Chains A and B, each alone.
Chain A
């Protein structure tokens, strides 16, 4: 949030100097009412069971009460610059962090407004117009706070999403050895350039260490295969082949197969088998293994 952005938002909600002046006039009232209004507010809040979980102990409650009182007074102090905004953003972020749903956060404001309205009515008895104007100014400011809170919420959420995307990308892709010279590489999640390189490097190292001759790459867990993903896959297969290993790809879903053909991607250089089981069987055949079902249903391998 920058200085310009703030002044732009102020303009959008039509928050003017006039509003500031009106709010400043409220300052003595705010100081007087902060205590009872906030106490009342939390009494109301805590009457809802789902809210109690957010204030597990006395200390937390006292802390937020104190903060709220400061906020209440601050609403009428006429300083709504960057510092104010940053504090509001921080408050929003804190609420997001404790998983307070945004609807609850906004609903709390409704109670606030009611409380304040009734106090204003009492304070401005006989001056209904003035009370109404002051209340409107206050509402504008509260709107700004709500906007900021939603901003902070969505910012945190976006951060979380980015972090998760990062985590998914960096999920290690295990290379598993299931028979002598046979590796399985199950890929789960999206494959982008960075991950493809990482997977390929890891696979090549594993091929050398395990002296693998056949690798089954299972892409059942890859949700989307587009042109790029397909090309990455082809590159991985090519690289493995340069080390003398051959790759069997399995788990291409019907949907993905159709997409690939529609996109016109040439995957004829991939040796594909329907599912992982088929792929492993094919690999065993290449390596010269024969699986024989023994008595009692147990099976054993025979190197051919």
Chain B
């Protein structure tokens, strides 16, 4: 099933509704890449709240999406990873290094709003880690 992609201001929201097959994930990557790259789109929020599992392939594609979109000048936020999913991912060593995350869609929009106001760098999200305190 195709993932619906909504537009919200300068951001796109890809709202995952059901578990995704490998093909679905690849298709999502291609569509998002195609839709970004313009001044109207500053970034993408991928909402994965409904997913109760994220396997290594899905994690890899999510990372790839983030990297591809970065090259297209857009920001990626993965929102709504469930605690159990996070626990399983960490145990399997499936980090999402370099990918911004948010608690849920609302949190993601807040993070976007903060960034939009061009706050100080620490208002940015969590990756890369903050520089050491001096």
Interface residues of chain A, those whose CB is within 8 Å of chain B, are: 197, 200-201, 204-205, 207-208, 211-213, 235-236, 238-246, 269-274, 278, 282, 285-286, 288
Contact = CB atoms under 8 A, between A and B. Distances in A.
B122 A286 contact: yes
Contacts of A201: 83, 87
A75 to B, nearest CB: 59
A241 B83 CA distance: 11
Interface residues of A, dominant DSSP = helix
A244 B123 contact: no
Contacts of A213: 103, 107
Contact of A204 (B86, B96, B107, B129): B86
A244 B102 contact: yes
Contacts of A211: 103, 107
B119 interface: yes
B133 A243 contact: no
Contact of B129 (A242, A243, A269): A269
Interface of B: 79, 81, 83, 85-87, 89-91, 95-96, 101-103, 107-108, 111, 114, 119, 122-123, 125-127, 129-130, 132-133
B101 A244 contact: yes
Given A211-B103, A213-B107, A243-B101, A288 B89 contact: no
A288 B123 contact: yes
Nearest to A212: B103
A243 B125 CA distance: 12
A204 B103 contact: no
21 contacts: A197-B87, A197-B91, A200-B90, A205-B83, A207-B103, A208-B103, A211-B103, A211-B107, A239-B83, A241-B127, A242-B101, A243-B101, A244-B108, A246-B126, A270-B129, A271-B130, A274-B133, A285-B122, A286-B130, A288-B119, A288-B123
Contact of B90 (A207, A239, A269): A239
A273 B89 CA distance: 27
A285 B101 CA distance: 20
A242 B127 contact: no
Contacts of A235: 90-91
Nearest to A268: B129
Contacts of B86: 204, 239-240, 242-243
A273 B107 contact: no
Given A201-B83, A208-B83, A271-B129, A243 B91 contact: no
Per CB-CB distance, the 9 closest pairs between chain A and chain B, nearest first, are A204-B83, A244-B102, A242-B86, A246-B126, A244-B101, A239-B90, A244-B103, A239-B86, A235-B90
Contact of A242 (B89, B107, B133): B89
A136 B117 CA distance: 93
Contacts of A270: 129
Contacts of A240: 86
A241 B133 contact: no
Contact of A286 (B102, B107, B123): B123
B103 A242 contact: no
Contacts of A244: 79, 81, 101-103, 107-108, 111, 125-126
B13 to A, nearest CB: 15
Given A213-B107, A239-B89, A245-B103, A207 B133 contact: no
Most buried by A among B79, B114, B126: B126
B122 A243 contact: no
B87 to A, nearest CB: 6
Contacts of B130: 246, 271, 282, 286
Contacts of A272: 132-133
A204 to B, nearest CB: 3
Given A243-B103, A246-B130, A273-B133, 8 more contacts: A211-B103, A238-B90, A239-B83, A242-B81, A244-B102, A244-B107, A245-B126, A278-B133
